[in-house]
Structures are given as structure tokens and as C-alpha cells.
């Protein structure tokens, strides 16, 4: 899904953190499947707590990383889409 389709939606993470190494994070879902995440994917998963829209998450990441918002919109939307497909995020209704 594109940024435009998702920007006003809120998401909440599912599963639980089950470990980390220097630059890799592990999250286990409700079926006991463990996923390996990069720092960027983990960050998006973690800040998706149901309180912020995708637009707000992008703005926050932009401020923290000092990267223009327009450069983060589609990459973060893609991460959100993959996390939804993996059942590690759920849309807040």
C-alpha cells in the first residue's frame, strides 16, 4: 500500500520482543514464529503503538534521523505493509 493510502491510519504492534543482538532484533508472534528485524524495521514496529498515525510516525522519524519527510514516506509505508502482511501489526479501527 502507498503512503497516501495509509498516512491517516494508526497501527499497533503485535507479538513480543524476544531478543536482540548488536543490530538485529527478534519478535515472536502469537503462533510462536520468530521474526528477525533490522533496526529500521524494529523502530517502526516499536513506535506503532496505536497512538500515532503513519503520518505522525514519519514526522517523528524525520526529526530523529534528520531526514526529509518526503524521503521517508514510501519506505516507511512499505515497512508498515510488510509488517501487516506478517501479522506483526494490526490497524487500529
- Per-residue pLDDT reduced to its tens digit, 29-61: 999 999 999 999 999 999 999 999 999 999 999
pTM attached to this predicted model: 0.92
| Cβ–Cβ < 8 Å for 92, 10 | yes
Taking residues 52-78, what's their average pLDDT? 96
- Beta carbons within 8 Å of 70's beta carbon, 6+ residues apart: none
Q: Where are the alpha helices (DSSP H) in the chain?
A: 3-6, 39-47, 54-65, 69-85
Taking residues 65-86, what's their average pLDDT? 96
Residue 1 confidence (pLDDT): 87
> pLDDT tens digits, residue range 13-35?
999 999 999 899 999 999 999 99
Residue 93 confidence (pLDDT): 87
Q: Is the pLDDT of residue 7 over 90?
A: yes
Amino acid at each position: 500500500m502507498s503512503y497516501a493510502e495509509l498516512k491517516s491510519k494508526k497501527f499497533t504492534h503485535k507479538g513480543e520482543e524476544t531478543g536482540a543482538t548488536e543490530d538485529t532484533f527478534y519478535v515472536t508472534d502469537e503462533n510462536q514464529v520468530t521474526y528477525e528485524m533490522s533496526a529500521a524495521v524494529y523502530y517502526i514496529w516499536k513506535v506503532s503503538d496505536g497512538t500515532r498515525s503513519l503520518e505522525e510516525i514519519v514526522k517523528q522519524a524525520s526529526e530523529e534521523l534528520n531526514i526529509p519527510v518526503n524521503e521517508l514516506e514510501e519506505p516507511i509505508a512499505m515497512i508498515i505493509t510488510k509488517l501487516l502482511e506478517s501479522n506483526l501489526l494490526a490497524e487500529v479501527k
